[in-house]
Amino acid sequence: MKNWKYEAYRSIWSVLDLLFPPHCGGCNTSGSRWCGDCQKKVDILAGIVCDVCGLPQDKVGICSTCLADRPHFRSLRAWAVFSGPIQSALHKLKYRRDMSMGDALAAQMAHFVRILNWPVDLVVPIPLGKRRLRERGYNQVAMVAFPLSMALGYRYAPDALLRNRETNTQVGLSKEERRRNVHDAFRAGTGVKNRTVLIMDDVSTTGSTLSSGAQALYAAGAKDVYALTVARALPHHDLRHV
């Protein structure tokens, strides 16, 4: 059965591409929002990862860090490593107002999320603070989460998680500083009780933001909370820049 709602959404972007010829978010070549070469260069985060935090490891199971200090979400997965064309595409989406990258990335992510086979009821993007939303004009996470939810047939619920307060940017902070920065930063909206929620962000580094959001959802009665990001900054990446 065809997903007419999703196909219509993608058709709108296709028409806009004809009217305003795009440049690839990964390499900036003209003619495509997300060219074939950049799609092939995506470093998919595959192989053995921790059952909880999703970081690569040598053996199946839960890593020592999560055993000692488990995040609040049930499981976190990222589609790709935060490097190369993915890093460029997310920068374009977040800082250069190219909202079309959200649809392009969601289309390529859909298969990865399907094979996770999570029993999701709701897709919820990490919300921006009011100040940042005014500055940017849109939530870059929502630009991926919305089409991805349509592609997978999940309900999109952007108001199921809200900000309690403004927070500082996580860039440049240590793991502990990131945790303190987002502590109690969120509260749940309505409609999450007894639901399995997929909470989304663009990039995960330590998982602190997603863990804080998951904690708020559980406090409101969510049945389960899974976490997903477009990309993952791995431990060898410099926390000052991600």
Percentage of the chain beyond pLDDT 90 is 81
Q: List pLDDT tens digits, range 122-135.
A: 999 999 988 889 99
Q: List pLDDT tens digits, range 206-228.
A: 899 999 999 999 999 999 999 99
Instruction: Report residue 182 CA to chain centroid gap.
Output: 17
Alpha-carbon distance values, 21 to 1, 16, 179, 182 (Å): 31, 8, 41, 39
Are 143 and 102 a contacting pair, CB within 8 Å?
yes
H or E element in which residue 197 lies? strand 196-204
H or E element in which residue 196 lies? strand 196-204
Q: What's the mean pLDDT in 97-125?
A: 96
**Predicted structure pTM score:** 0.92
Check whether 240 has a pLDDT greater than 50. Answer: no
Q: How many domains does the chain have?
A: 1
Domain of residue 162, CATH code: 3.40.50.2020
pLDDT band at 236 (very low <50, low <70, confident <90, very high): low
Angle between helices 84-95 and 100-116 (to 10 degrees): 130
- What's the pLDDT score for residue 2? 63
**Domain interval for residue 113:** 4-241
Q: What is the CA radius of gyration of the chain?
A: 17
Are 135 and 169 a contacting pair, CB within 8 Å?
no
Check whether 150 has a pLDDT greater than 60. Answer: yes
Q: What's the mean pLDDT in 77-85?
A: 96
- What's the pLDDT score for residue 17? 93
In angstroms, rounded to a whole number, what is the distance separating the alpha carbons of residues 89 and 72?
29
Q: 35 exposed, middle or buried (CB, 10 Å; 0-12, 13-18, 19+)?
A: buried
